[in-house]
Amino acid sequence: MKYSTFGRHVMIDAWGVSFDLLNDCELLEQYLLNAAEKCGATVITSQIHRFEPQGISAFVLLAESHISIHTYPEKGFAGIDCYTCGEEVDPTKAVRFLIERLKPSQTFSKMLYRGLGRIEMKKSMVF
C-alpha cells in the first residue's frame, strides 16, 4: 500500500464559549469522537484531563493523526487542533462540527498544508 505524506492541519481559536461547556469532560470527549466520525477518521484512542479549578485538555489519536482541544473556561476560550494525513479525511469537517457544538462568538483559524516538502498556509477560514 502506498501512503501519502500530504496532510492538512487546522487550528482554531474559539472565543465566547460557555464556561459550563468548556468544563464538561464527558461532553467534550464525545464531541471530539463525533467530530472524528464526521470527517471519516479512524479513532485509535482518546485521553482527557480535567484541571483544577477548571479547564480541560482532550486528545483523540486517529489512524490519520489527531484532534485535540484545550479549554480555558474562565476566559471562554478553546484552542482546537485537527491534523489529518492523506486526501480522504477532511479536518475541516471535524472542526466545523466542533464549532457548531461550541457556538463561539468569535473564531480565528489557520490551515497548514503539510508533507509537500514545504509548508503552505491558508491564513483564515470561515467556520
Question: Are 102 and 78 contacting, i.e. CB atoms less than 8 angstroms apart?
Answer: yes
104 cis-preceded (ω within 30 degrees of 0): no
Is 49 one of the annotated active-site residues of the chain? no
Pick the catalytic residue from 9, 66, 82, 85: 85
pTM exceeds 0.85: yes
Give the contacts of 26 (CB within 8 A, at least 6 positions apart).
none
Q: Does the pLDDT of residue 24 top 90, yes or no? A: yes
Pick the catalytic residue from 39, 65, 66, 82: 65
- Between 44 and 2, the higher pLDDT residue: 44
Is 65 one of the annotated active-site residues of the chain? yes
Is 85 one of the annotated active-site residues of the chain? yes
- Between 86 and 22, the higher pLDDT residue: 22
Percent of the chain with pLDDT over 90: 81
The grid cell for 81 is 487542533
In words, the CATH class of domain 12-122 is: alpha beta
Q: State residue 5's pLDDT score.
A: 84
The grid cell for 22 is 468548556
